[in-house]
């Protein structure tokens, strides 16, 4: 298990015990250089994952608006062959999606073997916004933790590595970032007044996230709480976790299935 | 129209008149530096495309095995936010895909507005391998040129910019690259003995490509013949064409739909 994963044997945690600005005493410039190096390794490891094509990696990003879900996915994937990556942003479900169970649209977007998938939001919205905004009855969403754990356990058993990241920002840092979107004409288009609705329910969301972290941090798919007030800390932790997970696989270049020496190119 | 596009008023062309090793008298180091600069511009232009979200860009790559379809897509997209890109590699159609018309699987993979799509192979295989290997009768595939033109004309009218690239390598350069895959243990996994089957039908493929270029280079969606023996020439032409196409749109940051000054972040 990576060093940033929540240990299932040490649950429950309290979200207030995690400082969104925590840098772990690290030096900014050194960490930035280390992240560059990690990104290079992600690029090489992804080629091996693709070449072997018997496992897949899912990077699942959750967090409040402006917590850096886009930024984190961009950071990890910039050094990777985009042909080997499948990104999915889950917004409010459309009519067809709502006509199915809540895992249906997520399941069909899972990365195939050899690929890295990046989920910007995920099935966890079904126990976050759905709970906070009372979109389904409590007795129904409460069952979802166990359903999600069973779903993810199957995915892991079938060859998916699940890396679940909670990008943890402070309410103060979000204020800065939203004001920035209002002030900067290049960022105006990112501002949505609906972001303020979720912000107004901050405490409800933190309670919902705390339950998610405690209920769905399993041995096969633990959550990683990422202090996200500082982008360089966020990027480092995500990159380090991805590299650690891929290196655990000890991938090598696959041996050819045929004897290549017999082929002569005319 | 970009300078590398086939001019519909100057058809038909003969493929033998295009030299796969042509560098246009360009200086390698200068062009490589220019490509780096172009890639930076693609990154910025893609943000604008995404922010405006009323048009999409399709980069369609065709060419013989080893012609650099993977390499070209990687080059363009490395400097782009991967969350705004949708890549699709079209292999032999599966059972569900074969149960539909040949444009069905391609249509559903078209990039949505605001996105860049990259097709590694495409519906053009339906008049290439399908023709060379006699997979459907001639009277059926011959109709496809007009069908494809009508399909693409609709796409363009509805907001898609179509950039179709034929990566043109020589048979000699392919020999080098295939031998490299056999010799280099890191590339062994890329080698498929089936590549040799297509290679053995080189002349048939060139005839089929020539017809594709002549029949489907339209004003709305012309083909670009890219000399692909030299990777730096290939990358430059693709990058330049993408930048030119996006700059023609004269995109600016969208104005906010609401008066942002009224929002105070509590």
DSSP string, B226-258: EE-SSHHHHHHHHHHHHHHHHHHT---PPPPSS
Averaged pLDDT, A79-106: 89
| pLDDT for A194 | 86
Res B8 pLDDT > 50: yes
B76 versus A38: which is more confidently predicted? A38
User: What number of H helices and E strands is found in chain A?
Assistant: 11, 5
Which of B42, B44, B82, B261 is the best substitution to test chain A (most A C-beta atoms within 10 A)? Answer: B82
Q: Percent of chain A scored above 90 by pLDDT?
A: 83
Cα of first residue to Cα of last residue in chain B, in angstroms, is: 50
| Residues in chain B, total | 266
Would the pLDDT of B71 be above 80? yes
Inform me whether the pLDDT recorded for A80 exceeds 90.
no
Best of B50, B171, B188, B191 to disrupt the A interface (most A CBs within 10 Å) is B188
Given this model, what pLDDT does residue A196 score? 92
Q: Percentage of residues in chain B with pLDDT exceeding 90?
A: 83
> What tens digit of pLDDT does each residue of A162-176 get?
999 999 999 999 999
Q: Spell out which residues of chain A touch residue B51, defining contact as CB-CB under 8 Å.
A: 189-190
DSSP letter assigned to residue A5: B
CA distance B210 to B13: 8
In this predicted structure, the answer to whether residue A232 has a pLDDT above a threshold of 90 is yes
The CB density around residue A126, as the number of other CB atoms within 10 Å, is: 22
The average pLDDT across A142-154 equals 95
pLDDT band at A1 (very low <50, low <70, confident <90, very high): very low
- Whether residue B193 contacts residue A258, with contact meaning beta carbons closer than 8 Å, is answered with yes
Interface A-B: count of C-beta contacts within 8 A: 99
For chain A, give the mean pLDDT.
Answer: 93
What the block records as the tokens of A53 is 């094509």
Which 8-state DSSP code applies to residue A187? T
Lowest mean per-residue pLDDT among A119-128, A252-261, B96-105, B243-252: A252-261
pLDDT top residue among A150 and B82: A150
Provide the pLDDT for residue A3.
67
Please give the ipTM for the structure prediction. 0.72
DSSP character string of A109-148? TSPPTT-EEEEES-GGGGGTHHHHTT-S-HHHHTTHHHHH
- Per CB-CB distance under 8 Å, the chain A contacts of B70 are 81, 83
Confidence of residue A2 (pLDDT cuts 50, 70, 90): low
Task: Count how many residues are written for chain A.
Answer: 266
Percentage of chain B beyond pLDDT 70 is 99
> Residues of A with CB below 8 A from B189's CB?
51, 253-254, 256
B32 has a chain A CB within 8 A of its CB = no
**pLDDT in the model for residue A192:** 87
Lowest mean pLDDT among A24-38, A64-78, B198-212: A64-78
DSSP A189: G
pLDDT at site B1: 45
Phi and psi angles of residue A168, each rounded to the nearest 5 degrees, phi first = -100, 105
Residues of B in contact with A96 (CB under 8 A): none
């Amino acid at each position: 298990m990576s060093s940033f994963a929540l240990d299932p044997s040490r649950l429950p945690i309290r979200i207030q015990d995690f400082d969104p600005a925590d840098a772990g005493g690290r030096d900014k410039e050194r960490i930035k250089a280390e992240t560059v190096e990690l990104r290079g390794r992600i690029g090489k490891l992804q080629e091996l994952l693709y070449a072997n094509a018997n496992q897949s990696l899912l990077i699942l990003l959750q967090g409040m608006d402006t917590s850096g879900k886009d930024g984190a996915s961009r950071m990890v994937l910039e050094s990777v062959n985009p042909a080997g990556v499948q990104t999915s942003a889950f917004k409010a479900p459309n009519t067809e999606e709502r006509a199915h169970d809540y895992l249906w649209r997520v399941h069909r977007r899972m990365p195939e073997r050899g690929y890295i998938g990046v989920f910007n939001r995920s099935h966890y919205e079904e126990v976050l916004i759905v709970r906070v905004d009372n979109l389904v009855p409590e007795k129904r969403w409460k069952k979802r933790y166990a359903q999600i754990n069973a779903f993810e356990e199957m995915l892991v058993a079938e060859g998916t590595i699940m890396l679940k990241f909670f990008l943890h920002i402070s309410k103060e840092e979000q204020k800065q970032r939203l004001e920035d979107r209002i002030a900067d004409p290049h960022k105006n288009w990112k501002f949505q007044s609906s972001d303020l609705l979720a912000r107004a329910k901050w405490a409800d969301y933190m309670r919902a996230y705390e339950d998610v972290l405690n209920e769905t941090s399993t041995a096969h798919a633990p959550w990683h709480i990422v202090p996200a007030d500082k982008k360089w800390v966020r990027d480092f932790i995500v990159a380090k976790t991805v590299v650690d997970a891929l290196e655990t696989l000890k991938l090598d270049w696959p041996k050819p299935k045929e004897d290549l020496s017999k082929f002569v190119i005319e």
